[in-house]
Every structure is written in C-alpha cells, then in structure tokens.
Amino acid sequence: MVFDLKACARSNILALQPYRCARDDYKDDGNTTLLDANENAHGPSLSKVDDLASKGSESQLFRFDSLNRYPDPHQIELKQLLCHLRQSPSSPNPLTPANLFVGVGSDEAIDALIRCFCVPGVDRILICPPTYGMYTVASQINDVEVVKIPLDIEGDIPTFDIRPGVILEKLRNDSKIKLVYICSPGNPTGKLIPPSQIRQLLEFQWNGVVVLDEAYIDFAGEGKSLAHWVNDHPNLVVMQTLSKAFGMAGIRLGFAFAPTNIIRLLNNLKAPYNISSITSALAIQAVSKPGLEVMAVHRNLILEQRTRIVQELVRLQRIGKLRGGFDANFLLVEILNGPKDSGGVPDNISARRVYKELAETKGIVVRYRGDELGCEGCLRITVGTEDETTKLIKKLDEVFKEI
C-alpha cells in the first residue's frame, strides 16, 4: 500500500474550506487604506510606544504602533528563512515556504496533525516511550488512542533506539494507526535516532504519517536535521522549534516541514492569525544571519558545559551512569542509593529525595524522570551557564553528604 493522502486524512479536513480574508488577495503596500478587517484605525491602546529595533542597528525590526493591524497570516519571510536554515545543498528538491506550517510552539503542530489525520474514537497514534508527554496529552484531548512501542531499553545501558521491526509489524496488523511520533534527539533520552532507522519506517508502505520531532536537533551536530527529506518522502513531517537552541521559548514559535499537500491541510485548519506580529518579528531576527551567529555562540557555550558536567558528575560517588545520548542540552543521570564503590544502584526513592532536596534547600530545580520506562532512578538535568554548572555540582555534592 502506497501513501494516499486522500485516504489517510479525515474527509472533513480534506473538504475544509479555509478561512480567507481580503489580505489573502490584496497586500498592504504602505499606501493602502485598510477598511476590510474591522480594525481600530487609531492605533493600539498603549500609553507609550517604543519601536523594537535590531540590537546594534538603526533598522527597525517592528513598529509597535502597527499592533492595531492583524498579523501576516502567511509568514512568507519567516518561512523562507527557515527553508534556508534547513536546506541541504545535496537535495535535488529544495524546500520552499509551501513546505512549512508555523504554529504556537511545536505543540500546535502535534495537535493539528492529530486533528488532521485521526478520527476521534476510531484512529490511533503510535509513540515510543520514554518520550515527550504532549503526544499523549494531545491524543487524549482529541479522543485518540495511543499505541506504545517502547524504545530499546535492554541491557545495562539502554540504547534508547527505536525498534523499526517491531513498529512495522504493529503497523502491518493495525490499519487504524495513522501517525507515528518519533522524538530525535529523544526527550528525556537525549539520543539522536540513526537516520537509517527513520528510513526503514519511511520505506515501509502503509497509509500513515511519520512525524519526526527535532526540537533539540541543533545540539546534535551540524547537518543532522532530516527536514530536507520531506520532499523525497510523501508521508514525512519534521517538527522543530525556536524554544531550545535559539533560546526563544518565550515567543512560543514552532514549525513543521512536510510535503506541500500535507502542509496545505495543516494551514487550512489553523486559526487565521495564529502567529502574532511581535512573535513573527522576533523569530525573523532569530533566524536571520545575525541571530544565527548569536545562536551558534550560545550553543557552543552549552556544549562546553555539557562536556564539563559529564566529566564532573561521574566523579561523584552517588552518580551512576549517564543514560541515553549526548545529543541535546540535557543529560539523563542515574542517582544511586549508595556509593558506587559500595555497589549502589539506581533507585527512585533516592532520585526523588535528591530532586526534592535540590529544589527545596539548594535552589536548583531539575526534573525527576524515574517513573518513565528505562529511566529508573534518573534525573534529567538541563545544561545551564558556567556559573549554574558550578552551583549544580557544588549543591549536588552537598545533598549527597546530607542524605
């Protein structure tokens, strides 16, 4: 069975006529009188309006006195910059703005894909735990069942790879599975999934969509994104975000690359003006050349501290193995119930206690992950600044001496 979008997507979504406004047909050229969208022509209700300008530049990034106007519903300038960001010189099929959906964080894309392809109470999605929790949350909201095929957690140190053979067998026997969500690098595993394993899923003929979540891809090394694959595979969606490596979590902007016919459906069902003018302006600055240069500097600082944390944590007697991979801006760390020299083993009680003590007495908040599959006794620790790393190591050592 080859992928057939018309047979895979929900019939009501295929028939959906998107909301259209006059500015889909006529753009504001600066000399146009806009009397089409019932806006307030007197401007925004702000007591003081300062233009937002590019740092170190006299050129304006955004005029706050334009907030009385609805934002651009198409975001073409931003989408073109995102295409440049993920374009592969070797790809014969270049990415274009028509390959992009832009949403309020990656969570909007996660939800939109489920609404697009899964009939409530009928269809299912497949996930590979341990993984990002919003796949399940969005499914439950939409009354869509979740099928779980765990990552490879066998052995003393789990590989946290996906298991293509097991996934494909499940797809062969369950025609109601419409979406497979793969997180790479994984959360909470920090492990990049080998492209060969993703390719196995894409080469299998079934009428569903593979969704690759690359939220942490910029920490995995240059050229690791598979976004440029979307024009070579009719059922691939690659999600990304500005929240992680770009440090723009506060603007809530995510995006999805996909074949143009899938993107058309996603754009048809989104809210008309889902991305604010301010968000768009800041995102454009972040993925323009000066912003990319800043991101690269910050990413290198994070990678330096990631290496430092690895080196310093293993010296602590109550720290066990570092599970998963080293492809994200966090580490999955075992907390032992005793010194490693005395045979201490990963233990959820110890991990919860360290988690609580760090937060309540030391002023450091990490994430307890011990209840997730393959993560017994583990904390997930985000890589911070040099000073934050110093504080982390010092306070961890104090906690271990106190408990």
State pLDDT tens for residues 334-371.
999 999 999 999 999 999 999 999 999 999 999 999 99
pLDDT of the residue at 57: 44
Q: Low-confidence residues of the chain, pLDDT below 70?
A: 28-29, 35-36, 38, 40, 48-61
Q: What is the pLDDT of residues 77-89, one digit of tens each?
A: 999 999 999 998 8
DSSP code of 177? E
Joined tokens for residue 221: 């090394």
- The answer to whether the CB of 351 falls within 8 A of the CB of 378 is yes
pLDDT of the residue at 276: 94
DSSP code of 336? B
- CA nearest to 51, candidates 59, 41, 40: 59
CATH class (in words) of the domain with range 293-402:
alpha beta
Domain 5-21+70-287 CATH (choose: 3.90.1150.10, 3.30.365.10, 3.40.640.10, 3.40.50.300) = 3.40.640.10
| Residue spans in the chain of domains classed CATH 3.90.1150.10 | 293-402
Helices 164-173 and 195-203 pack at an angle, to 10 degrees, of: 20
Each as own residue / partner, the long-range contacts of residues 291-295 (CB below 8 Å, 24 or more positions apart, any chain) are: 291/246, 292/85, 295/218, 295/245, 295/246, 295/247
| Residue spans in the chain of domains classed CATH 3.40.640.10 | 5-21+70-287
pTM: 0.92
Helix, coil or strand: residue 308: helix
∠291-60-51 over CA atoms, to 5°? 110
∠281-286-290 over CA atoms, to 5°? 115
pLDDT of the residue at 53: 57
pLDDT of the residue at 45: 75
pLDDT of the residue at 58: 42
- CA nearest to 313, candidates 374, 387, 372, 395: 395
pLDDT of the residue at 357: 96
